[in-house]
Structure 1
Amino acid sequence: MSTLQSPVQSPLRRFWSEYCENRIAVIALAVAILMALLALLAPFIVPQDPYDLEHLSFLDARRPPGFVGSGGYTHLLGTDPQGRDLLSAILYGLRISIMIGLTAGAVGLVLGTSVGIFAAYKGGRIEAALMRVIDLQLSFPPILLALILVALLGQGKGQLIAALVAAQYAYFARTAYGAARGERHKEYIEAALATPLSSAQVVLRHLLPNCLPPLIVVATVQIAYAISLEATLSFLGLGLPVTEPSLGMLISNGFPYMMSGRYWISVYPGVALIILIIAINLVGDQIRDQFNPRLRK
C-alpha cells in the first residue's frame, strides 16, 4: 500500500502558515500594509498638497469635519490652524513617519549588527571596549540622547534620522552580540574557521544568518519606537521643519485648541499614530512568538 506524504513546506511558507494562525496578527499586518499604501499613494488620492503653502487659505483654518473649503472640496476630517486639509496632512505625515522609521531602523540594524558581531567575533580587549561603550549608551534614555543630538544637528530629515540611529543602534548591537557570542564557539563555526574561508566569509555565511531571528524581532520593535520617537520630537518642536507636517507636529498644532472644542486637529493625527504603532507592535509580537517556541500561546 502506498502512503500519502504531505508536501515539504519551505521555511518561509511554514512561517507564513504559522503566522496566519493568529487572526489578530494578520489583521495588524493588513492594517500596517494598508496605512503604508495610503501614505505611499497620498499624492494621488488626497485633495490637497499640504506642502504647497501658497494655495493654503487661512479662511479655511480650524474648520470642523465635513466643511467645504474655498478649494471646492470637502474636508472630511476638518482643517488644521494653517488651513491644511487634515486628511491630506495625516497621510503625508504617515508617509514621513514610515519613511523615517524604516530608514532609521534599517541603518540602526546594519550599524548595530556590525558592531555586535564584530565584538563577539574578535573577543578580548576589543570586545570589552565596544560592549562597555554600548552598555554606557544603554544606560541613558533614548529620548534624552535624541533630544541632545537633534539640538546639536538641527532640523531636517537627515539630521533626525541620524539622531534616531545614534539613539537606537545600541539595542541592535547588544542583541547581535548576545546571539553571536552564543554561536561563536559552536562546532560549525570552528569547522568553518578551519577551511580556507576568510573571516568575512565565515561571519557573513555562517555566523550572521544564525543571528538574524532575534534581530528581526528587535527591528520591528525599534521601527515602531522610532516612529513614536520622531512624533515626540516633532511635538516638542525639535523634529522636522514646519513646512513638513509630521503627525507629531499636527498633534502639537492642535493641542492649544483642545479646550475650545476643536478636538479633531490633535485627535485624528493621534489616532492614526496610535493605530500604526499598535499594528507594528502586534506584528512584532507574533514574529517573536514564532522565533521563540517557548513564548507561543
Structure 2
Amino acid sequence: MVSLRTPQSDAVKVLRGPARRRKSRGRTNAQVAVALAVIVFFVLLSVLAPLVAPYDPNAADGSLKYLPPGSPGHLLGTDEQGRDILSRLVWGGRTSLVIAFISVTLSTLLGSALALLAGFSGDRVSGAIMRTIDVMFAFPVIVVAVALAVILGPGTPVVIAAIVFASVPYVARVIFAEVKQQRGREYVEASISLGAGFSSVLFREVLPNVIGQIVVYGTGLVGGMIVFSSSLSALGIGVQPPTADWGRMISEGAKVIISGNIFVALFPGLVVLVVALAFNWLGDGLRDVFDPNKRRIRA
C-alpha cells in the first residue's frame, strides 16, 4: 500500500503541535483567570458584607414577604419573612465560605500527613493507616453528621467535623498513591543510598514533588464541600437560624417553591452552583499547570 504522507504534511503536523499546545495553555489560563475572578468577587463580597449589604440580613417585615425580584429597594426580592434576599446572600457567603475553607484546609493537612506517613512507613504502619482510611470510607457521612449533631448540638462545628471526616479518606488515598509513585523514583533511592534519614527524604525530597497535587486536589475539593455543607445546613444539622447561610436559604426556599415563589431558592442555588463550579475550574486549571504531563491537547 502506497503511503500518501509527504514532507509537507509532516511539516504541517510539526507546526500544528506547538500551536495546539499554545491554544490549550491559553484556554487553561483563561479558565483559571475566570475562576479566580469569580472566587475573589464572592470572597470580597462576603468580607465587605457590612458595607455592601443593603439591609440587615435578619431584619424581618411580614408586610414585605415574597416581594418578586426587581421590587423597589429589593433587587432579588424578599423571602417568607420579608427579609432581603440579596442581603442574606451577601452575609451567607461569610458562613458558607469560611466553613468550606476551614474544613478543606484541615482535611487536606490531615489527609496528606497520613498519606505521607503511610507511604514511607513499614508494612504494618502503612497497613494500619490505610485500613483505618478504608473504615472511614464505610461510614455514611450523613449518619456521622447526625450523630455529631446529637452529641454536640447542631451548628458550625458539626458541619466542619462532618466535612473533615468525609474528606480525609479521599485526600489520603489520592496523595498516598502519589507518594508511593514518588518513592520508587531514582532520586529518592539515591538520597536513601547517600544516608539521608526518614524525615529528610520525606520533607526535602518527596513533599516538594507532591505539594502540587495536594494544592490541586484541595482546591478542587472546596467546591464540593460548599455543596456538601449547604446540604447539611438544609437538613437542619448545620448553621442554625436566623444566621444567613446559602444552604439554609435553599432549604427554606424549597418549602415555598410549590406556591410559585421559585426565586427564594433559585438565587442561593445559583450562587452555590457558580462558586462550586469556579473552584472546580480552578482545581482543573491548576492540575494542568502543576502537571505538564497531563495537559490535554484540545483541538
CA contact 2:220–2:282 (8 Å) conserved in 1: no
Task: Say if 2:59 is the partner of 1:60.
Answer: no
* 1:208 aligned partner, one-letter code: L
- 1:23 — aligned with what? 30
For 1:157 and 1:201, the matched residues in 2 are separated by 38
RMSD (Å) for aligned C-alpha atoms:
2.3
Q: Give the letter for the 2:137 counterpart.
A: L
Which residue does the alignment assign to 1:6? none
Whether the 8 Å CA contact 1:28–1:283 is kept in 2: the answer is: yes
* CA-CA distance at 1:247 after TM superposition: 0.7
1:9 alignment partner in structure 2:
none
The aligned amino acid for 2:179 is A
Q: Which residue of 1 aligns with 2:182?
A: 183
* 2:221–2:280 contact (8 Å) kept in structure 1: no
2:125 maps to a residue whose letter is I
Match of 1:296 in 2: 296
Q: How does 1:202-241 map to 2 (within 5 A)?
A: 202-241=201-240
1:161-186 C-alpha deviation (Å, 9 max, x unpaired): 11211111111111221111122243
Matched with 2:278 is 279
Residues 1:236 and 1:265: Cα distance change in structure 2 (over 3 Å) = same
1:1-20 equivalences in 2 (<5 Å): 18=25
CA offsets per residue over residues 14-54 of structure 1, 9 Å max, x none? xxx9476543442222112212211221111111221xx4x
Q: Indicate if the aligned counterparts of 1:19 and 1:286 stay in contact, CA closer than 8 A.
A: no
Q: Hey, what does 2:41 align to over in structure 1?
A: 34
Structure 2 unaligned regions, length at least 5: 1-23
Distance (Å, rounded) in 1 between the aligned partners of 2:78 and 2:266:
12
Q: Secondary structure at the match of 1:180?
A: helix
Distance 1:256 1:185, change over 3 A: closer
1:208 aligned counterpart, secondary structure? helix
- After superposition, what is the alpha-carbon deviation per residue over 1:193-243, rounded to whole angstroms, capped at 9, x for unaligned? 466765334322222111112222211221111100001111111111112
Name the CA distance, whole Å, in 1 between partners of 2:294 and 2:208: 21
For residues 95-121 of structure 1, give each alpha carbon's deviation from its aligned partner in whole angstroms, at most 9, with x where no partner exists: 211111111111101100111111111
Identity %: 34
TM-score normalised per structure 2: 0.83
Q: Deviations over 1:65-90 (max 9, x none)?
A: 2334xxxxx01111112222100101
Equivalent-residue separation in structure 1 for 2:210 and 2:31 (angstroms): 27
Query: For residues 276 and 201 of structure 1, do their structure 2 counterparts lie closer, same or farther at Cα, with a shift above 3 Å needed?
Result: same
Query: How far apart, in 1, do the equivalents of 2:245 and 2:215 lie?
Result: 26
Preserved CA contact (<8 Å) 2:145 2:237? no
TM-score by length of 1: 0.83
In structure 1, the partner of 2:129 is 130
- CA distance 1:120–1:295, shift in 2 (3 Å): same
Q: How does 1:64-213 map to 2 (within 5 A)?
A: 64-68=68-72, 74-193=73-192, 198-213=197-212
Pair 1:48 & 2:55 matched: yes
Q: 2:256 aligns to what SS in structure 1?
A: helix
Alpha-carbon shift at residue 280 of structure 1 (Å) = 1.1
Contact 1:93 1:247 in 2 (8 A): yes
Distance in 1 of aligned mates of 2:78 and 2:287? 40
Distance 1:48 1:171 in 2: 40
Helix, strand or coil: the match of 1:122? coil
Q: Hey, what does 2:10 align to over in structure 1? A: none
Query: What SS does the aligned partner of 2:204 have?
Result: helix
Q: Distance in 1 between matches of 2:126 and 2:230?
A: 35
Q: 2:247 corresponds to which residue?
A: 248
CA contact (8 A) 1:145 1:167 kept: no
